[in-house]
Chains A and B, each alone.
Chain A
Amino acid sequence: MTAIARPRASGDRHQPRHDLRHDLRDDRRVLLGTVAVVGLLFAAATSVQSVMALGVFSTSLRAVDSSPVVEIAARTAINLGTVAVVLALTALLAPQRRRLALQLPMLAGIALAAGGARALAQWSSGLYSEAAVPVLLAEVGTTTAASGVTLGIGLALLALWRRLRTEERVRLNSQLEALEAHRELHAEELRVRRDVAEELHGTVQSSLVIVEARLLALAETPGSDAEALASVAEAVRTVRDVELRELMTGLYPADLDRGLVPAVRALIARLPASIVVDDEFAESGMRMEADRPLPLEDRLLVFRLVEEAVTNALRHGGAQRIRIAFAHAGGLLTVTVDDDGRGLPANATPSGLDRLRRQLDGRGGTLTVSPRADRRADGVASGTTLTASLPRSSPARPEPAVTLSAP
């Protein structure tokens, strides 16, 4: 079995894991912090205001002399207590974790409780005389309103905070994805450079060394024969036609600028005549680029997939027949390559496939390599199907003009 389908890993790779508990703690901190600050401001302002504006009135209400300092201290203590009640109830009931429909009654309840508690404290501490029941009721009302507003500000600020946090995360994620894609691209460029350098050194250079040596030997031989020269010419032809062409294809596939079909046609033209390639690819490939050409990066990736599948089919699978098909639906490009070979050896994932899988991963695509769905008559699995799909990228720059349409 050669099924090496693997679920896409990008879910856990590109989404930094955020601890839910951390977020809840964060929410509580923001809410309680805001309520504390706003509540303390209210508390301080109310204490000063009561004494400065209502001090005389308050004294006359109770018909006792009182110094402003004691007044302020007593009132401040009560107000701080009220803030503490709001904070405690908020921490206990955690309205930030409820639905909005539950948050409002909860907010009203907490505010009312704070108002009641404050009035009770004021009454029991004797700040108001018993005759001042309407004043106490007014205090309940204003305290409830102030607490409600405080808690409301806290919840509103928390909602804003949450939105900013989400936006920041989305921004960070897309930055991470861009970084990842850039890294992938850079790694790919380095790989190609290294491969080309190795190929230049290992194959082209050593071929040229041999050619040079043979030419020198011929130069030293008087009356060199035509046959020997022709054989050197043949060696030069191999360097030019085979080795250099392979290098060029590795760097940039022939005819890619002209479209996917011409590039695949150039690839097929290099296959041995014993390999049958079904004609389907031309029609489906033309259809894929009929409305508008694919962005070059998509075209290159699709071409590399075909190239890799064909190479594996011939090299590892000993295939005789290959079918290549393209499809384009709903912004999703799909390429399917079937062959009738033996399939990839078990547990073998050619490095080329791994690399392409990573590239697809970074682009939100998928790659599946599996035994061919249709079995031979004797029931033995034969051949491999490679299926890859990727979302078509939006063109970032104008494509090279193609004036000649391929068949």
Chain B
Amino acid sequence: MGVRVCVVEDQPLYRQMLTGLLGAAPGVVVEATADSFAEAIRVELRSVDVALVDVHLGDGDGIDLGLALRRRRPETAIVLLSASDSSHRLLALPASERGHWSYLSKTSALSASSLVGAIASAASGRSVIDRSVLEGRAPVRSGPLDTLTARQLEVLRLLSAGLTNAAIAEELGIAVRSVDNHVNAVYEALGVAATSRVNPRVSAAALFLEHSR
């Protein structure tokens, strides 16, 4: 059985495109669709692994909806969709929540590989932030990211996009071992404790979002 998805999107055409893409993808099943906050809140969650939620719903806010869904069923992962860059909204989430949330721009979500990749990552407990959103960002001057080397910043960017160390190594054409070293250096520079209850990758990604624009 594949990843079971609930699609919450108020624009009919865009919702259709999403369900079409997901329906055609192997390993993904669209279990439910909803066109509003009110409808989504009534969806039977027992059969849903990932909720794909538009941030701007006509009758409510996607982040509020995601929080409500996760209160009802804490195993549900949320993938937010947004037409304009609202990734800073993720920073408003409590630290314990962040690891269960992913973020995709509506443009990326229409590419089958990005969409299915994000949903698969979210289902396996990883948090994904849209690469196109991360790519345009630079560290805020005299912020904590300002001390990172260019290579460390690149590793942090890919890590924030939800890539594993192996995937980062492949992407950058370097050894996994050196990626491990870079990741540890980044944790140290940002003061992210690998022993903390919150996944250090999630904390590092949040710091990247917070201190870059």
* Chains A and B belong together in one complex: yes
- Which A residues are closer than 8 A to B by beta carbons? 237, 240-241, 245, 248, 254-255, 257-258, 262, 265-266, 268-276, 320, 403-407
Q: Which residues of B contact A405 (CB under 8 A)?
A: 92
Asked if B200 is at the interface (CB within 8 A of a chain A CB), the reply is no
Asked if B143 is at the interface (CB within 8 A of a chain A CB), the reply is yes
Residue in B67, B140, B212 whose CB lies within 8 Å of A404: B67
Asked if B47 is at the interface (CB within 8 A of a chain A CB), the reply is no
Q: A248-B84, A269-B88, A270-B213 are in contact. List 7 more A-B contacts (CB 8 A).
A: A237-B107, A241-B85, A254-B84, A258-B61, A269-B85, A273-B213, A404-B63
Q: Which residues of A contact B143 (CB under 8 A)?
A: 276
14 contacting pairs across A/B (C-beta < 8 A): A237-B107, A240-B83, A241-B85, A248-B84, A257-B61, A262-B92, A265-B88, A266-B86, A269-B87, A269-B88, A273-B137, A276-B142, A404-B63, A407-B91
Complex Cα–Cα for A388 and B131 (A) = 40
Known contacts A245-B84, A258-B61, A404-B67; decide if A276 and B141 are in contact (CB<8 Å).
yes
Asked if B89 is at the interface (CB within 8 A of a chain A CB), the reply is yes
- Which B residues are closer than 8 A to A by beta carbons? 61, 63-64, 67-68, 83-89, 91-92, 107, 137-143, 212-213
Q: Which residues of B contact A262 (CB under 8 A)?
A: 89, 92
Residue in A245, A320, A407 whose CB lies within 8 Å of B92: A407
Complex Cα–Cα for A313 and B212 (A) = 20
Known contacts A240-B83, A241-B85, A269-B213; decide if A276 and B140 are in contact (CB<8 Å).
yes
Complex Cα–Cα for A200 and B87 (A) = 26
Number of residue pairs across A and B with beta carbons under 8 Å? 54
Q: Which residues of B contact A266 (CB under 8 A)?
A: 86, 88
CB distance from B63 to the nearest CB of A (A): 6
Cβ-closest chain B residue relative to A245: B84
CB distance from B134 to the nearest CB of A (A): 13
Q: Are the C-beta atoms of B67 and A403 separated by less than 8 Å? A: yes
Q: Which residues of A contact B64 (CB under 8 A)?
A: 403-404
Q: Are the C-beta atoms of B88 and A274 separated by less than 8 Å? A: no
Q: Are the C-beta atoms of A255 and B89 separated by less than 8 Å? A: yes
CB distance from A339 to the nearest CB of B (A): 14
Residue in B61, B91, B92, B139 whose CB lies within 8 Å of A273: B139
Complex Cα–Cα for A241 and B208 (A) = 21
Known contacts A403-B67, A407-B91; decide if A273 and B138 are in contact (CB<8 Å).
yes
CB distance from B204 to the nearest CB of A (A): 17
4 closest A-B pairs by beta carbon, nearest first, are A273-B138, A269-B88, A273-B213, A406-B92
Q: Are the C-beta atoms of B140 and A273 separated by less than 8 Å? A: yes
Question: Which of B92, B139, B142 has the largest number of chain A CB atoms within 10 A?
Answer: B92
